[in-house]
Amino acid sequence: MSVANVFQIVKCPITCHSFNKNRSEVAICPNTNEIHIYKNKGGKWELDSVLKEHDKLITSIDWAPETDRIVSCSQDRNAYVWKRVGNGWEPTLVILRINRAATVVKWSPQENKFAVGTGAKNVAVCYYDERNNWWRSIHINKLRSTVLSLDWHPDNLHLAVGTADSKVRVFSTISDEAITSNKKIKSADTLISENKVGGWVHGVAFSPSGNVVAYIGHDSSLSFLYRDTSEVVTVKSKDLPYLSLLFTDERHVITIGYDCCPILFEETSPKNWKNMGKLDQGEKKEEVVSNAFNKFRQMDTRGQENNDDSSLPTTHQNTINDIRMYAGTRDNVTSFTTSGLDGKIVVWEFDLATALSKLKI
Amino acid sequence: MSANRKLNVDIDEDFEEEVEADVGVDNLAKYNSLCDDVKSNILKGDLSSAIKRAVSEAFISKKAPQDIRERCISTVIEAMCAVKTLEIPTIVKQLTNDELDILMKFVYVGMASPEVYNSSILITWHEKIVNVAGLGCIVRVLTDRNTV
């Protein structure tokens, strides 16, 4: 496991990030109401364009790789789809019809629709209405609390939703035929399953095959729901709670969160998940040779008694809040990126065999 | 201030938790026998078994009347206080992670009323439990809606 590149892009927290298809551009939100797009110029990231349309903090950005469109949502209760026009970007407003913040947004695998989680206790599933040339939404209303996370099933139809009332639910949404047929869609909220967790559900993800839903609770737990038997396997961890997760293949999951470090989980035998350890071991800080000597040296050089080096041994210096695939395929991730409150975007090389052998030592 | 800030957000119906509010008779019997078992183990001097029995069932205060709650908490903390400081790590190691989560709840509820319970002993338990179960154990106590 090695860190490939660390980019200190901004000096403030990054609330979310998303790369384009060939990874030459990245869209981030530097904890404001603007989206910054950075371009890779010879290994350096330079600010290319600033997208201003939202009034309040942007909560989530998702860049559709194939159709090259960005969708963003914000606490100002709006979502925009950004299309590339010439050198710039042009927004299209999405009719969300909500009275609370939009919290999370994600394109479906086919990129013909996207889902917006909201604080108004619903999920808006949005699809393009060609006749009127805008994005229309239909609500999933069977929720009782703010949506914190969601993920699409690879079949482009089912949606997993994690909420602040400690529940994770799976819905089936609008079929593609319904969108193309141009008929009025009446409802999209068929509840498939509902499971309880011991806290807010910060992250949810389908496995590459779509047969397993993994989700994270604020009680430092990681749970797996199996489609065939509706069985739930929960791993309660010793660490601080996780915030997001990524399946690197059917049997491996990487979680990130308040511990400032990615953690690997493996399905060692069917339906038996195990915490394999931290992928960022970090370098041990230099041992203090002589306390008295150091103390006087500190007092001499800095005029203070305590060593104020508060940096962490991990690559990220603060909570990590976003993890995304960078290279490889959905069922064989070879590289992933993380961004966090320290303003860094880190690209991690991930080779399963080396990672596991290092962790076993 | 924008218009949405003027909305009365509390006007929405309150979020209701799903709790079985009624105190079942079997629950009462269960919690009473729990107290009795722990007490008799303390009297026998078998503190390891006393602690084990104390965390063998998840005590949930919402499902028990106040007097039973008081009795349960005081009995479990009595058992914890009876253990010698040096023996705490040995007992903690014998418990599973789920049992440690339950024990940690009692530590917190005990520390909430320092005038009744000995906080210095409880903080020692706290330290030893965190050594084994990690910070996740604390987070679970703080997030769990089924409080002791």
In angstroms, rounded to a whole number, what is the distance separating the alpha carbons of residues B57 and A18? 46
Check pLDDT > 60 for residue B19: no
Cβ partners under 8 Å of residue B24, min gap 6: B63
Q: Do A219 and B98 count as a contact with CB atoms less than 8 A apart?
A: no
pLDDT band at A1 (very low <50, low <70, confident <90, very high): low
The answer to ipTM > 0.95 is no
- The pLDDT value given to residue A181: 73
Instruction: Retrieve residue B118's tokens.
Output: 């000995």
Nearest to B143 among A55, A77, A198 (CB): A198
For residue A119, give every residue at least 6 positions away whose Cβ sits within 8 Å of its Cβ, in sequence order, or none. Answer: A98, A100, A101, A102, A103, A146, A147
Which CATH code is given to the segment(s) A2-282+320-358? Answer: 2.130.10.10
For the cut 60, the answer to whether the pLDDT of residue B21 exceeds it is: no
Flag if A237 and B137 touch (Cβ within 8 Å). no
Q: Is B38 helix (H, G, I), strand (E, B) or coil?
A: helix
pLDDT of A201 reads: 95
Contacts of A31 (CB under 8 A, 6+ apart): A12, A13, A14, A15, A57
Instruction: Round the average pLDDT of chain A to a whole number and report it.
Output: 89
User: Which residues of chain B make contact with A200, given a CB cutoff of 8 A?
Assistant: 143
Closest-CA distance, B7 to chain A, in angstroms, reads 10
Mean of pLDDT values over A196-224: 94
Query: Can you give the pLDDT at residue B3?
Result: 59
Tell me whether strands A167-172 and A34-41 are parallel, antiparallel or unpaired: unpaired
pLDDT at B4: 59
Q: Of B140 and B16, which is predicted with more confidence? A: B140
Distance from CA of B43 to the nearest CA of A (A): 34
Best CA proximity match to A339, nearest among A312, A318, A313? A318
Distance from CA of A151 to the nearest CA of B (A): 24
Give me the residues paired with residue A138 across strands: A125
Give Cα A49 to chain centroid, integer Å: 23
Q: What pLDDT is recorded for position A354?
A: 85
What residues does each domain of chain B span? 25-143
**pTM for this entry:** 0.86
Tell how far CA A254 is from the center of its chain: 12
- Interior/surface letters A307-331, b for 16+ CB within 10 angstroms, e for the rest: eeeeeeebbbbebbbbbbbbeeebe
Mean pLDDT within B35-58: 90
**Predicted local confidence at residue A37, as pLDDT:** 95
- pLDDT value, residue A281: 72
Q: How far, CA to CA in Å, does A274 sit from each of A236, A263, A264, A333? A: 10, 11, 9, 19
Closest approach of chain B CAs to the CA of A197, in angstroms? 10
Residue B7 has pLDDT above 90, yes or no: no
Residue A110 pLDDT: 92
The three-class DSSP label of residue B121 is helix
Q: pLDDT tens digit string along A63-92?
A: 999 999 999 999 999 999 999 998 899 999
Domain-by-domain residue ranges, chain A?
Answer: 2-282+320-358, 283-314
Interface residues from chain B to A (CB-CB < 8 Å) = 2, 4, 7, 15, 97-98, 101, 133-137, 139-140, 143-145
Which of A115, A128, A205, A96 shows the shortest CA–CA distance to A157? A115
Q: Name the residue among A266, A263, A190 with its Cα closest to residue A233.
A: A266
Chain A residues within 8 Å of chain B (Cβ atoms): 55, 77, 99, 144-145, 165-166, 198-200, 217-221, 236-241
User: What confidence score (pLDDT) does residue A308 get?
Assistant: 59
3-state secondary structure of A282: coil
Residues B102-146: tens digit of each pLDDT: 999 999 999 999 999 999 999 999 999 999 999 999 999 999 888
**A93 pLDDT above the threshold of 60:** yes
pLDDT reported for residue B22: 55
Q: What is the pLDDT of residue A34?
A: 94
Per-residue model confidence (pLDDT) at position A310: 72
Q: How far apart are CA A192 and CA A170, in angstroms?
A: 5
Give percent of chain B above pLDDT 70.
Answer: 83
Pick the residue from chain A with its C-alpha nearest to B146: A198
Task: Give whole-number Cα distances, A188 to A137, A175, B112, in Å.
Answer: 10, 9, 47
Q: What percent of chain A has pLDDT over 90?
A: 66
Helix (H) or strand (E) holding A94: strand A88-94
CB within 8 Å: A219 and B7: no
State residue A255's pLDDT score. Answer: 96
Residue A133 confidence (pLDDT): 81
What are A5-17's pLDDT values in tens digits?
A: 888 888 999 999 9
Q: Is B103 helix (H, G, I), strand (E, B) or coil?
A: helix
**A358 pLDDT tier (thresholds 50, 70, 90):** confident
Considering the domain delimited by B25-143, tell me its CATH architecture: Alpha Horseshoe (1.25)
Average pLDDT in the A235-263 region?
A: 94
Query: Among B4, B7, B136, whose Cβ lies nearest the Cβ of A238?
Result: B136
B17/chain A closest Cα distance in angstroms = 8
